[in-house]
Amino acid sequence: MSAVDPLELARVVTHRDGPTLIGVWPRAAALLARQAVEDAMTRVLAVRAPGAERCANRPRLLCLREYVPDELAERTAFLWATLSRACHHHPYELSPNADEINAWIGEAEAVVGELEGLA
């Protein structure tokens, strides 16, 4: 793990009060959770398929299917896509709420833990 755990920061962002994060905290938390998933993918691929970790994220998600169990690869890809969508503003859509963000962070913790076990 890095010196600063993105999932820990995501939890901090979801619980921080004050005017500085009003309106941006859901996307900030989603971005941090996605970063944690990407970091875990990088570590797994660096060990299991050296060189593949240098690819962009979508190709890495495809490569991941060859090196981790199918169910974990599918969960990782779905979570990454969900978090990626939550990171961006979409006209006429509400931002994710706290329950959704917390559920995604929890799933990211589980996926990262499983990926770390395979690295």
pLDDT at site 3: 52
**What confidence category does residue 2 fall into, taking pLDDT thresholds of 50, 70 and 90?**
very low
What are the tens digits of pLDDT across the range 20-40? Answer: 667 688 899 999 999 999 999
d(CA 56, CA 64) in angstroms, rounded, equals: 12
Record the tokens describing residue 27, joined without a space: 């996307």
| Contact in structure between 101 and 30 (CB atoms under 8 Å) | yes
pTM value is 0.89
Domain 6-118 grouped into CATH 1.10.3210: no
What are the tens digits of pLDDT across the range 44-66? Answer: 999 999 998 889 999 999 999 99
What are the tens digits of pLDDT across the range 64-117? Answer: 999 999 999 999 999 999 999 999 888 888 888 989 999 999 999 999 999 999
pLDDT at site 77: 97
Show the 3-state SS of the chain: CCCCCHHHHHHHHHHCCCHHHCCCHHHHHHHHHHHHHHHHHHHHHHHHCCCHHHCCHHHHHHHHHHHCCHHHHHHHHHHHHHHHHHCCCCCCCCCCCHHHHHHHHHHHHHHHHHHHHHC
